[in-house]
Structure 1
């Protein structure tokens, strides 16, 4: 059986019955109907020659790296070889090599029973399959991180804290593997195919403990590795990558006291450096959300939620500079329900518009922070065909 695959303007005939592990069988690819019976290397003007299975595999990877990520799941139905290819990270690595990686946003808003995936301009969307968990998981707080082409969602089920991951290529949810020390309310961030998790609350039956524990998750091996613990115990903190290091900022300690310090992790030395008073000038509100932070072009930005102000961090002075007002009503909810993210060289803020406080619909604003005068622009064509509540429960950006 042969199937026709169109990549761009080039029709490719794939022999789905062929086995790439056998040297005696050939894969046939042609440019037109008249050339469909010639070997694949006719594409480089050779009439008859042998093609090694490894070369064919590399060609498959390079071809499918150009297919939109949202279409990957369909490849699993071609044959076992393509299904195995999807489960590996070869396509993702090739997309990185070819410069084809694009940002996608995953959102879960109040009242929704499943996540929605958007392109960076919010002009197209994809509803993710429903996650087969219990009501305890859906109604409780959840922590979300993306790493590689996986969306990691961690929350509390009846039996304890559980890790779910959504595999973009296969378009399905898979449970596990569990963290070494299961917990919630941690700070996290990803870099390539690794994600780092630090601090949080460990819940064991009737015990409740704020920890300084840190772990690393590898998306390729789907394994957790313990790394050196932080200097401070902290919960409800924020994590981010800046200039090659993983940072954890703010939060509360084991006595529910707000922390103004941060810590940076050096993976080479497996050590943490304490950064005192990084949030010393920021107002503290009772029961406020974790710091809303984002990184653009190696600069750290913060949404100060009590006044809806945008600030940028001066690393040398260990101080924040005010850049202007952000057009959302973050002060109404102490920062909860507002998403503040970076996408490429832009900042995004998602939530309830301060210009339309009575509206229940989600609004998205963008700006380029590295200009003299920051101007926030509303995405007018945002979310056509889908209506989401303005209160954002979870949001993360995936580069895939």
Structure 2
């Protein structure tokens, strides 16, 4: 690591630290104890020198604040414990007793108002260091920086990186001067996030960014001119909650887990769902693939950033574990519908809390149904009940309220149909309507505004009968596609001519005579196909993608991982 060049601290305006104590930290790298106040930071070379603070209640305040001791220095931990014990005893131990003032009478005169003597308080000088120590800093390491924010729990600036790189923390804004010029410019071009109550502290880091950038000698002259024009950028700037929300909503969702781990406030922001409501309003939607190759285990995949995430294991009984299941992602929820030992059961995974819980059952529990979601609404159509009766019932689920609503029944009862949303309308396509297993060739369109069903002839591309999987359908950019795994063809539905047209081939891994074990889904502006192991030699899951707007079908493998099982269930969550 290149040695960091020290910058003269006298260049900064020297202000005596004041205000209440925010935190205190043992900083091993500079062999000091730092006490951060509302306005400034005090440094002490030894732990005992803290007892020289001129106001004894400052030491008492330290006993109520946990010492930040990331180096796990035993001496600092012991000192923290001793002053707490001494405060409880009324400062009886003189070795760890803070400085109390000496009262000195002034000119031996009496105060006419109280008829008592006038006194002044005499303190010994506080044993702070004469020069502010600057932390040696790594150089040119912010290339993968994602964002930075002010942590209201530890009162540090936290730099968050892409990937798995550990967060970097700064207690004192003055440490910024030892960063490289490129790193300082990187920070300058990112607004620091903070809560309303931390506006002063957050802006302090911003102000030091500007002043330090102008001081660095290796900044180009034109950059200095540009920065001089922006010198007032941080003056009286109040970013507040609104800008923080607008900035966070543009970040990829895979960053939110790390943001939530920074402090309590960010964690509550993520879990409240407000951020996702704002993303929905501004049409900032990411589509993730959720799939299961194990009865109780689910995984998620971000196709844009190619990131994997393991969901917590489901906690169900044996009945649910081995029953046939339906799955649907709606809003920030993932619903898994099946049968437990006592009857129909629904388990709900919340992306906000990263946890599973039991959901409310459907008004008419069914399986082998057609379903699709749009924003926070999902529609479930048809299926069979516990007695095997083919149903025409339709229900919608609202992820914001967690409730079910019965909708008008379909024209025809059907099971093993496929559901999609397209052009703001819900479609259920194909399936079986009677016990003879002959597949339906029609589809039905449901208009959410008029709440009426319309039958559409010859809308099914095939499938859903004689032991075959339901039609493999996907909607991308409001165009309907189908995967014919037997013929290895990719088809597109012509809305104008109301017919299916072959437009290309499927990837070789998609070969299947009946369509089971393969997931074919629309994922935002792309179509994805997920396939499990093809033979005993290739034990892994593969995810292929094609973006229709980029040209004729060209499949790209965007993800793969080891697996011994085929795909049981799959859903796309867009939020």
Task: Tell whether the 8 Å contact from 1:148 to 1:219 is kept in structure 2 after alignment.
Answer: yes
Structure 2 counterpart of 1:326: 506
Task: Tell whether the 8 Å contact from 1:144 to 1:154 is kept in structure 2 after alignment.
Answer: yes
CA distance in structure 2 between the partners assigned to 1:164 and 1:119 by the alignment: 22
Aligned to 1:201, what secondary structure does the other structure show? coil
Structure 1 counterpart of 2:150: 12
Structure 1 residues 2, 139: CA separation in 2 closer, same or farther (over 3 Å shift)? Answer: farther
String of CA shifts for 1:72-92, please: whole Å, max 9, x gaps.
45638944x666644543110
Task: Tell whether the 8 Å contact from 1:69 to 1:169 is kept in structure 2 after alignment.
Answer: no
- 1:176 positional shift: 0.7
Are 2:280 and 1:96 equivalent residues in the alignment? yes
CA distance in structure 1 between the partners assigned to 2:551 and 2:536 by the alignment: 29
CA distance in structure 2 between the partners assigned to 1:47 and 1:284 by the alignment: 64
Instruction: Provide the aligned length of Structure 1 versus Structure 2.
Output: 370
Structure 2 counterpart of 1:173: 356
Structure 1 counterpart of 2:104: none
Structure 2 counterpart of 1:274: 455
Match of 2:545 among 356, 366, 383: 366
Are 2:322 and 1:139 equivalent residues in the alignment? yes
Structure 1 residues 16, 214: CA separation in 2 closer, same or farther (over 3 Å shift)? Answer: farther
Q: TM-score, normalised by structure 2?
A: 0.58
String of CA shifts for 1:291-320, please: whole Å, max 9, x gaps.
000112221111113212111111222211
- 1:71 positional shift: 5.0
Aligned to 1:316, what secondary structure does the other structure show? coil
CA distance in structure 2 between the partners assigned to 1:125 and 1:320 by the alignment: 34
Structure 1 residues 359, 271: CA separation in 2 closer, same or farther (over 3 Å shift)? Answer: same
Are 2:555 and 1:398 equivalent residues in the alignment? no
Task: Tell whether the 8 Å contact from 1:214 to 1:228 is kept in structure 2 after alignment.
Answer: yes
CA distance in structure 2 between the partners assigned to 1:268 and 1:314 by the alignment: 24
Q: TM-score, normalised by structure 1?
A: 0.81
CA distance in structure 2 between the partners assigned to 1:332 and 1:138 by the alignment: 26
Q: Output aligned runs, 1:154-303, within 5 Å.
A: 154-203=337-386, 207-255=387-435, 256-279=437-460, 282=462, 286-303=466-483
Structure 2 counterpart of 1:21: none
CA distance in structure 2 between the partners assigned to 1:289 and 1:283 by the alignment: 6
Structure 1 residues 27, 162: CA separation in 2 closer, same or farther (over 3 Å shift)? Answer: same
Task: Tell whether the 8 Å contact from 2:432 to 2:464 is kept in structure 1 after alignment.
Answer: no
Structure 2 counterpart of 1:39: none
CA distance in structure 1 between the partners assigned to 2:318 and 2:465 by the alignment: 30
String of CA shifts for 1:203-224, please: whole Å, max 9, x gaps.
1xxx232111111111111111
Q: Which has the higher contact order (CA 8 A, sep 6+)?
A: 1
Structure 2 counterpart of 1:304: 484
Structure 1 residues 132, 357: CA separation in 2 closer, same or farther (over 3 Å shift)? Answer: closer
Are 2:557 and 1:378 equivalent residues in the alignment? yes
CA distance in structure 2 between the partners assigned to 1:341 and 1:369 by the alignment: 13
- 1:362 positional shift: 1.9
Structure 1 residues 84, 177: CA separation in 2 closer, same or farther (over 3 Å shift)? Answer: farther
Task: Tell whether the 8 Å contact from 1:242 to 1:295 is kept in structure 2 after alignment.
Answer: yes
Task: Tell whether the 8 Å contact from 1:260 to 1:278 is kept in structure 2 after alignment.
Answer: yes
Structure 1 counterpart of 2:202: 30
Task: Tell whether the 8 Å contact from 2:464 to 2:470 is kept in structure 1 after alignment.
Answer: no
- 1:251 positional shift: 0.8
Structure 1 residues 8, 371: CA separation in 2 closer, same or farther (over 3 Å shift)? Answer: closer
Structure 2 counterpart of 1:115: 298
Task: Tell whether the 8 Å contact from 1:189 to 1:246 is kept in structure 2 after alignment.
Answer: yes
Aligned to 2:245, what secondary structure does the other structure show? helix
Structure 1 residues 353, 87: CA separation in 2 closer, same or farther (over 3 Å shift)? Answer: closer
- 1:330 positional shift: 4.8
CA distance in structure 2 between the partners assigned to 1:82 and 1:114 by the alignment: 28
- 1:235 positional shift: 0.8
String of CA shifts for 1:265-292, please: whole Å, max 9, x gaps.
101111111112223x747762000000
Task: Tell whether the 8 Å contact from 1:146 to 1:152 is kept in structure 2 after alignment.
Answer: yes
Structure 1 residues 97, 160: CA separation in 2 closer, same or farther (over 3 Å shift)? Answer: same
Q: Say which structure is richer in helix.
A: 2
Structure 2 counterpart of 1:65: 249
Structure 1 counterpart of 2:516: 336
CA distance in structure 1 between the partners assigned to 2:345 and 2:358 by the alignment: 8
CA distance in structure 2 between the partners assigned to 1:387 and 1:209 by the alignment: 39
Gaps of 5+ in 2: 1-21, 25-141, 156-195, 209-231
Structure 1 residues 327, 358: CA separation in 2 closer, same or farther (over 3 Å shift)? Answer: farther
Structure 1 counterpart of 2:212: none
Task: Tell whether the 8 Å contact from 1:114 to 1:129 is kept in structure 2 after alignment.
Answer: yes
